[in-house]
Structures are given as structure tokens and as C-alpha cells.
Amino acid sequence: MSDVRKYAEDRARRDPAFAERLEAGYEELKVGVLLRQARKRAGLTQEQVADRLNTKKSAISRIENHSGDIRLSTIERYAHALGWTVSVDLQPPPDKERRQAP
């Protein structure tokens, strides 16, 4: 089980309102949690990332906690501030048959 899934399930047990929105908001949560985990693995604080991006700590907090509408370019800048790169992986839903493009 991924760290993201563990975090989500733990928070859902503690917060009934969060549990109701979990499935709908899972992708939003996942991006923010991945960014936060990457920052921590890079050994940086929100303040340090903010300095590297020439922004405020509150903007980094917002990215990590409410990232539903985040642009790919913002994720790339965030990753660059950590010294990381971005990789995008598109996959079909696990319960759908793969359709080939015409």
C-alpha cells in the first residue's frame, strides 16, 4: 500500500467529512501528498522551497494541501526547486478494457 493510500485511509478514519469526499478528491489529495513527500525526502522545509520559487510559504502550503487545479508547469517548477524531475504516466482505469486508437 502506498504512503498516499495509508495517509488517506488514516485521515478518513479520523474525519467523516473527509471520508465522504475521499474518492472524489483522491486525485487532488494524491498530488499534494506526493509533493509534500518529495519535499521532505529532499530534506527541505516549505520555507526553503518558497525561497527557491521566489514565493511565500503560504503558497507552498496551498500547493501541498489544495492541489486539485495545479498546472503541470507548477509541478515542474516545484520539482526543479527540489532538484527533482517530473514523470507523467498515463494508464487506463484497471477495470476497463484497453481500447486501441483508430
Q: Provide the residue ranges of all domains of the chain, joining segments of one domain with +.
A: 3-82
Q: Between the CA atoms of 57, 59, 64 and 65, what dihedral angle is there, to the nearest 10 degrees?
A: 110
- pLDDT level of residue 101 (50, 70, 90 thresholds): low
pLDDT band (50, 70, 90) for residue 21: confident
- The string of pLDDT tens digits covering residues 4-15 is 778 878 888 888
Fold of 3-82: 434 Repressor (Amino-terminal Domain) (1.10.260)
Q: What was the pLDDT predicted at 48?
A: 98
pLDDT digits (tens, 9 = 90+) for 45-65: 999 999 999 999 999 999 998
What 64-70 contacts at long range (C-beta under 8 Å, 24+ apart), as own/partner pairs, is: 64/32, 64/33, 64/35, 64/36, 64/39, 65/32, 66/28, 66/32, 67/28, 67/31, 67/32, 67/35, 68/25, 68/27, 68/28, 68/31, 70/31
What pTM, to 2 d.p., does this model score?
0.65
CA angle 71, 56, 77 (to 5 degrees): 35
